[in-house]
Amino acid sequence: MRIFKEKEKMTSYLNSCRKNKTIGFVPTMGAIHSGHLKLIATSLKECDITICSIFVNPTQFNNTNDFKTYPKTLNSDLLKLRKINCDIVYTPEISDLYKKNEPIKKFNFSTLTKNMEGKFRPGHFNGVATIIEKFFHIIAPSKAFFGQKDLQQLQVIKQLTTKIKSKTKIIGVATVREKNGLAKSSRNELLSKKEKRSAAIIYNCLKYCQKNKRKKITDLASYVKLKFAKKEEIKLEYLEFISLNNMQPINEWGEKGNNAICIAAHINKVRLIDNIIL
Ligand code: AMP
């Protein structure tokens, strides 16, 4: 496994070995867990060379405390990536990717970013798109792998590739969960065992809606809101029933596979998101 901190060294190595090979790219912010490893394993299966980046991108954080407390575990991350046989790891400093005082690019993703993360994390998707565009220019991957856990991000990245005329194929990978259903997340590191148990309510509610899809959306929404209201330690930020095409709210189910239920919740200052596609 080759590790690079500087983009010039990384691209020069990549150019020396990429001829006639497919490049798979997995961008991460580190604190590597089995969700990230599933993306890497998928890339290793589908591509000749797999690159994982570890970079806590400052421009996508709308909350400085969240940025400051974001877990950083580079040494154990590298051990996990070596164990899975990742080919290249790119761990740049901020200055390798951003000029001093560089303004964040503004994108228009139309309805995709109107709700949910776009609404509650102003500027978040401009930051995400800015960094992914930079990565795609530097690496020019054949395929890039993103988790369905960040469903709105996945849809935004798909639209971004069209906008910037990138040839990179975007692959969505199913969410990896803890035994109790809680979606794996680097932020889970910040939860106690008890809080992790409480956080299982998120997936339990999503599964309830899946099982009771015949019920009206308004009834399901009331059920979920009531469940959350009864749990003091966890605060529901949003619950949205949306259409995958445009990420807009729905009142009735659309075509199978084109509906999603998305939840964001706070538990002791930790923000968790999850979703289910129906
Ligand atoms: P992050 O490090 O949180 O920015 O995540 C890097 C990539 O891993 C993103 O594409 C995420 O959607 C994906 N990811 C995060 N958690 C999971 C999970 N539990 N299952 C599958 N993919 C995930």
| 278 close to 151: Cβ distance less than 8 angstroms | no
Q: Is 149 close to ligand 1, i.e. is its CB under 6 Å away?
A: yes
> Would you place residue 66 in the very low, low, confident or very high pLDDT band (cuts 50, 70, 90)?
confident
Max CA pair span of the chain: 58
What distance in angstroms lies between residue 42's CA and the mean position of ligand 1's atoms? 13
Q: Is 183 close to ligand 1, i.e. is its CB under 6 Å away?
A: yes
Per residue in 83-113, pLDDT (tens digit) is 999 999 999 999 999 999 998 999 999 999 9
What distance in angstroms lies between residue 275's CA and the mean position of ligand 1's atoms? 13
274: nearest Cα among 130, 178, 135, 195: 178
Is 142 a residue whose pLDDT tops 90?
yes
What whole-number distance in Å separates Cα of residue 41 and Cα of residue 84? 7
pTM over 0.95: yes
**Burial call 132-160: b when 16+ CB within 10 Å, e when fewer:** bbbbbebbbbbbbbbbbbbbbbbbbbebb
What whole-number distance in Å separates Cα of residue 23 and Cα of residue 82? 18
Q: Is 36 one of the annotated active-site residues of the chain?
A: yes
Q: Which residue lies with its CA nearest to atom 18 of ligand 1?
A: 35
Strands 49-54 and 23-28, how do they pair?
A: parallel
Per residue in 163-202, pLDDT (tens digit) is 999 999 999 999 999 999 999 999 998 899 999 999 999 9
156: nearest Cα among 47, 60, 19: 60
Strand order in the sheet with 88-90: 2-4, 88-90, 49-54, 23-28, 143-147, 169-173
